[in-house]
């Protein structure tokens, strides 16, 4: 079994390696679901640990449909991350409707060529995971992180198992989200996967009970989730809930309460949807 550990500091990276991690995913701002780490942190971790480092490339919290300037910054971040010692890159780019942005992903993959390519849990918000998996395989992606489109990997275990069977060894399927020492055995048995992924925690007990990596993305609020940029404003109680219609996303009227009705130009009156997951986690 391969243990990948998600870390966001030099101390955590050192501790994870000492605790038996096989691979690191390096982020910043884990409280926001994991963003692009600084080059200084990446270089310090590379100089200190010997295990492979996958650098997260995610310029902001919120969603995975990026403006041109954000996309350009991602390409530059990838270039400098690889120059600074990253062994591979984790990223995810979607169209506004939630489908994989093939053109942008293809350009990113060309830049990463020769290194492991990881598509992160943006995969869990695509409308058709089976088709999306085939697209990632055609693009040449090495590995995809997924909770099976559910809040946790254990809840999505049946779907993860289906994806693994569909992949047939053409792409690695890495379960993520809500993985703990007390459920990792059940998860691996249910999915047939041979690698898993927790956020950094003391790894002694985890490794003894099948270590895992907790995904850098907290449990999902909804399958229809964060696709829009952060200027698309959420409702107050669910500030990380991004499950609104296209008409709603065009509004700059301000922050609305749960269920408040709002009429947009050229559209009917529609309510904001509340986030139904208890931790109101972003992707």
Give this prediction's pTM.
0.72
Contact 254, 232 (CB under 8 A): no
Does 166 lie in the same domain as 253?
Answer: no
Instruction: Output the pLDDT for position 231.
Output: 37
Whole-Å CA distances, 80 to 11, 42, 119, 201, 203: 22, 10, 19, 28, 30
Instruction: Output the pLDDT for position 199.
Output: 59
Instruction: Output the pLDDT for position 178.
Output: 85
Does 237 lie in the same domain as 204?
Answer: no
Instruction: Output the pLDDT for position 198.
Output: 62
Instruction: Output the pLDDT for position 183.
Output: 86
Does 58 lie in the same domain as 129?
Answer: yes
Instruction: Output the pLDDT for position 32.
Output: 86
The candidate with the shortest Cα–Cα distance to 42, out of 78, 90, 91, 84, is: 84
Give the total number of structural domains in the chain.
2
3-state secondary structure of 150: coil
CATH of the domain at 20: 3.20.20.380
Per the structure, the complete domain to which residue 236 belongs is given by: 221-283
β-strands 117-119, 53-56 pairing: unpaired
All residue ranges of the chain with pLDDT < 50 are 200, 202-283
């Amino acid at each position: 079994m391969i243990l990948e550990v998600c870390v966001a500091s030099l101390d955590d990276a050192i501790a994870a390696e000492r605790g038996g991690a096989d691979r690191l995913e390096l982020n910043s701002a884990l409280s926001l679901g994991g963003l692009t780490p600084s080059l200084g942190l990446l270089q310090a971790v590379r100089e200190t640990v010997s295990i492979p480092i996958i650098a997260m490339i995610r310029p902001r919290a919120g969603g995975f449909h990026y403006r041109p300037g954000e996309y350009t910054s991602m390409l530059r971040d990838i270039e400098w991350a690889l120059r600074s010692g990253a062994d591979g890159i984790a990223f995810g780019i979607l169209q506004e409707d939630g489908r994989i942005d093939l053109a942008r992903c293809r350009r990113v993959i060309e830049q990463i060529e020769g290194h492991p390519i990881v598509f992160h849990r943006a995969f869990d918000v695509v409308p058709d995971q089976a088709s999306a998996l085939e697209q990632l395989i055609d693009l040449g992606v090495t590995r995809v992180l997924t909770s099976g489109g559910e809040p946790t990997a254990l809840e999505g275990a049946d779907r993860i198992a289906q994806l693994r069977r569909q992949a047939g060894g053409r792409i690695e399927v890495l379960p993520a989200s809500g993985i703990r020492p007390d459920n990792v055995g059940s998860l691996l048995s249910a999915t047939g996967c041979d690698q898993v992924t927790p956020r950094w925690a003391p790894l002694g007990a985890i490794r003894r009970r099948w270590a895992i990596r907790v995904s850098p993305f907290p449990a999902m609020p909804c399958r229809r989730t964060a696709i829009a940029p952060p200027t698309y404003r959420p409702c107050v109680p669910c500030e990380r809930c991004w499950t609104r219609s296209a008409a709603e996303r065009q509004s700059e009227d301000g922050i609305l309460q749960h269920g408040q009705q709002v009429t947009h130009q050229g559209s009917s009156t529609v309510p904001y949807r509340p986030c139904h997951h208890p931790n109101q986690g972003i992707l």
